[in-house]
Amino acid sequence: MPRAALLLTLILPCALLPAQAAPGAHQHGVVTLEVAIDGAELSLGLRAPLDDLIGFERAPRTAAERQAAAELLRSLRAPGALFEPSAAAGCTLAAATVQAPVLEGGAAGADHAELVADYRYQCAQPQALRGLKHRLFADFRRIARIDAAVAGPRGQALHKLKRPADTLSWPQ
């Protein structure tokens, strides 16, 4: 496992625990974003309450809800301009994984359903990575804050972005 990803796996979830009310619970209006930079790889991990993304946290009941769920999953699996790493870094999306079992016919489980997405970028000039522009606030009006954790060659940092901030920056 890459060093930065290992660091995020072991350390940063503990740093984000105060934002979580209890295991499996979440705070509406708040999404978490984990950023790891390891060599030429930029990894992003997004966790969001479904209510913030689609307006409900249960299996879709109507044809319109099923269509909205399918469109949400499709758009997040091909994120396009949702995330834009520093242009000078020359990053291209290498992989995208999106999981939202309650929207995909899985069991409803808890009262607070979430979507978990992981994105991996390969960067031609990783030393030029200075930050990440995002469209989370623009595309999802229910999101009020992003709790972001960044781990990279210059260390770790926690950031809280509030509307309308569309850029996450880190030291180089």
Give the separation between CA 113 and CA 12, rounded to whole angstroms: 22
CA–CA separation, 142 and 49 (whole Å): 10
pLDDT for the residue 109: 55
- pTM for the model stands at 0.82
Q: For residue 164, is the peptide bond before it cis, meaning its omega torsion is within 30 degrees of 0?
A: yes
State the pLDDT at residue 111: 64
Nearest to 139 by CA among 71, 61, 56, 91: 71
pLDDT in tens, 65-91: 999 999 999 999 988 889 999 999 999
pLDDT in tens, 52-69: 999 998 999 999 999 999
Q: Look up residue 160 and give its amino acid.
A: K
Tens digits of residue pLDDT in 99-138: 999 998 766 555 678 999 999 999 999 999 999 999 999 9
Over residues 6-34, mean pLDDT: 56
Residue 9, pLDDT above cutoff 50: no
pLDDT at residue 14 above 60?
Answer: no
5/163 Cα distance (integer angstroms): 28
**Does residue 25 surpass a pLDDT of 60?**
no
pLDDT band of 11, cuts 50, 70, 90: very low
- Which of these, 49, 114, 119, 118, lies nearest to 85 by C-alpha position? 119
Q: Is residue 12 pLDDT above 60, yes or no?
A: no
* 31 and 159 Cβ atoms separated by less than 8 Å: no
Q: Please state, in angstroms and rounded to a whole number, the distance separating the CA atoms of residues 2 and 37.
A: 9
How far apart (Å, rounded) are the C-alpha atoms in residues 46 and 44? 6
Tell me what pLDDT residue 77 has.
94
Mean per-residue pLDDT of the chain: 85
Side chain identity, residue 39: G
Mean pLDDT of 126-153: 95
Percentages of the chain per state (helix, strand, coil), in multiples of 5: 30, 35, 35
